[in-house]
Amino acid sequence: MSADDSKQGRPGRSDRGSETRELILVAAERLFAEHGVEAVSNRQVSEAAGQSNNFAVGYHFGTKNDLVLAIVRRHSESVERRRTDMLAEITGSPDLRDWVSCLVRPITEYLASLGSPTWYARFIAQVTTHPSYRELVVNESFSSRSMQQTVEGMFRLVPRLPEEVRQERSYMSRLMLVHLCAERERALHEGTAKPRSTWTATADGLVDALVGVWLAPVTARR
């Protein structure tokens, strides 16, 4: 911050840079959620963020991969904190529902805390179905210590499954969690009818369904 900025109470360069980064993140999240990552250029993100410099995204974030990760990390701390608190309450629980709840509820509670409209669930749905970004975002999510503890706790209580079935059900679980949240977020935004009236009720349904997925029998191969 320059001496003149300090004296006159104007924001310095670092403050302005932080504000610009935040504007870009918010604009990119909304555009990616609504149109998909591939369909949105850095120039469009810059314009939506109110930046006259068309190279603002590259200047502040680098590549589009970096921008996608920055959006994920903008939200992950709050989700991580909620999951860590939940894990502390269920230490050693023999109930699979408790561990599945630790997978689901930190996300639904966080989305509820954002109010409406939000775009984060739809953004995650877009990037986790994109071949170039899916692995990037999934790896980022599973690098979290609280997520690793949750998955380890779940698998201690899940019946022994063939590896291919376990991988398949992990994929099913991720799809159900991501896309049900995205559909509820979209319905809230559009004001359309919703199967469940609250995010808490949505979480209840997801936990029920995911416990059923993991405890479902496996058809014997002929």
114-165 per-position pLDDT tens digit: 998 999 999 999 999 998 899 999 999 888 999 999 999 999 999 999 999 9
Alpha-carbon span 61 to 68, nearest angstrom: 9
Tokens 């479902």 found at: 216
State the architecture of 1-62 in CATH terms. Orthogonal Bundle (1.10)
At how many degrees (to 10) do helices 120-127 and 163-190 cross?
Answer: 140
pLDDT at 175: 95
Alpha-carbon span 6 to 1, nearest angstrom: 7
pTM over 0.85: yes
- Structural tokens at position 120: 């984060």
**Range scoring the smallest mean pLDDT among 52-56, 73-77, 114-118:** 52-56
